[in-house]
Amino acid sequence: MKAEIVATGTELLLGETLNTSAHYLTGKMSSLGIEVDYHTTVGDNPERLEQVLRQGIGRSDLLITTGGLGPTADDLTKELVAKVLNLKMELDTSSLDQIKQFFGRRKAPMPLSNEKQAYFPKGSKILPNPIGTAPGAIIETMGKTVIILPGPPFEMRPMFDNFAWPELQRILGPQSERMNERVLKVFGMGESAIEEVLGELMSLPNLTMALLAKRAEMHIRLVARSTETKSGEAKEALKRAEEEIRRRLGDKVFGCDQETMIGIVGQTLINKHLTIATAESCTGGLLGAALTQEPGSSDFYLGGVVSYSNSLKKGILGVREETLNTFGAVSEEVAIEMAEGIRSKTGSDLAISTTGIAGPGGGSDKKPVGLVFVGFATPEGVHAEKFQFYGERESVRQLTVQAALNGVRQHILSSERRQQSGDG
């Protein structure tokens, strides 16, 4: 199946908005084994948009559009798809009800213009939009499939994942070639170091392997192609490769596929019935924000202190004046006292602290920008780890959060090992 993606929106052609949707959708097509031949971006201009839609529907089996579903007169995607496919526009009363409810929840009457959002090309299957007022649609006609999605990525993504994806799977059927993929996520090793350790694994005959550098982690992406009926072999090849990679990289592999560092740490804390607290300086609240990102975080996260000023380090956390004066706020000693302080203040099982120089200013020869100490206080004792990160302020802060979470993960792994070997 050959596909193309058409984004409409004048803001995309003014350099205001980056088209992340084409990137997102093309990755999804790739996993489904659908070849994407073109991305096209076109403004909210009826003639040009119509011409692009006509060309796309002519040359591709699947056309996915994003944008142009708003209530205003220049939002024309559905209308022009209908024109190109020779379909009438019809009111979908259930969509209209939902749009009215959307405004009802906001205690506002629905503006008349929004009624337009409940009209679709005849024969459309509606893709609901729980977040906004623009439902999407999927149309199958004359051997072609058109999927119409809204422009804002936070509306488009859940609509695609929850409603369009299953439709595509149905349309493809069991005999189409899929990508069987596995992404292994690594923290604490760079691209070349991983390449060196993996060596000949990088070019196995039956699967492709690619390294992708993300902001605070590395991803190893394994892909083996097969039809759904022969997916057993492909999955076996993936499994063998994964085992070998994990054997070589050990604890550096922290997760796979949709797993995130915070997801793994949170789940582990819940499973072990452990609570955690934070004392943050250079991360300014980002670590707490990460720990509370997923629902259910109140089961393990008690809270913390953002001790951005020294007076809070002393006043709430009980860091000693002497320690601050002797070693400075960015030091192993202060990281340790911060972690101890928040642990005793909150009565949590574990506590983590961060102190560092996020930059761009504030660095010195002895304490350069990117120097970070992460403190860990646990029932078994307290210690701090030193890191030297590189990059801009936000990277240093994100890397610090990731290092702190990874430290928690490794602490729990090693206490497990001690218990298993009978030392604990």
The answer to whether residue 37 forms part of the interface with its own copies (CB under 8 A) is: yes
Rounded distance, CA 227 to CA 206, Å? 14
**Closest approach of Cβ 299 to its own copies, in Å?**
10
The answer to whether residue 318 forms part of the interface with its own copies (CB under 8 A) is: no
Question: Which helix H or strand E contains 210, and what residues bound it?
Answer: strand 208-213
**Closest approach of Cβ 85 to its own copies, in Å?**
22
**Closest approach of Cβ 417 to its own copies, in Å?**
29
Instruction: State which amino acid sits at residue 24.
Output: Y
The answer to whether residue 66 forms part of the interface with its own copies (CB under 8 A) is: no
Q: Tell me how far apart the terminal alpha carbons of the chain are, to the nearest angstrom.
A: 57
Rounded distance, CA 307 to CA 402, Å? 19
Among 304, 341, 356, 407, binds its own copies (CB under 8 A): 304
Burial of 290 (0-12, 13-18, 19+ CB in 10 A): buried
> Mask 197-236, x = binds its own copies (CB under 8 A)?
-------------x-xx-x---x-x---------------
Q: Which two tokens stand for residue 232?
A: 């057993």
The residue range among 168-176, 319-327, 389-397, 414-422 that interacts with its own copies, by the rule CB under 8 A, is 389-397
Residue with smaller CB distance to its own copies, 27 or 166: 27
**Closest approach of Cβ 154 to its own copies, in Å?**
7
Residue with smaller CB distance to its own copies, 125 or 248: 248
Among 143, 205, 250, 361, binds its own copies (CB under 8 A): 361
The answer to whether residue 180 forms part of the interface with its own copies (CB under 8 A) is: no
The answer to whether 253 and 187 are in contact (CB under 8 A) is no
The answer to whether residue 331 forms part of the interface with its own copies (CB under 8 A) is: no
**Closest approach of Cβ 112 to its own copies, in Å?**
10
The closest alpha carbon to 185, from 243, 258, 290, 271, belongs to: 258
Question: Long-range contacts made by residues 285-292, C-beta under 8 angstroms, separation at least 24?
Answer: 286/397, 286/398, 286/400, 286/401, 287/352, 287/354, 287/400, 287/401, 287/404, 287/405, 290/262, 290/401, 290/405, 291/262, 291/265, 291/266
The residue range among 87-95, 241-249, 309-317, 373-381 that interacts with its own copies, by the rule CB under 8 A, is 309-317
The answer to whether 408 and 421 are in contact (CB under 8 A) is no
Among 119, 165, 308, 327, binds its own copies (CB under 8 A): 308
Near its own copies in 230-289, by CB under 8 A: 278, 280, 283-289
Q: Which two tokens stand for residue 296?
A: 């259910």
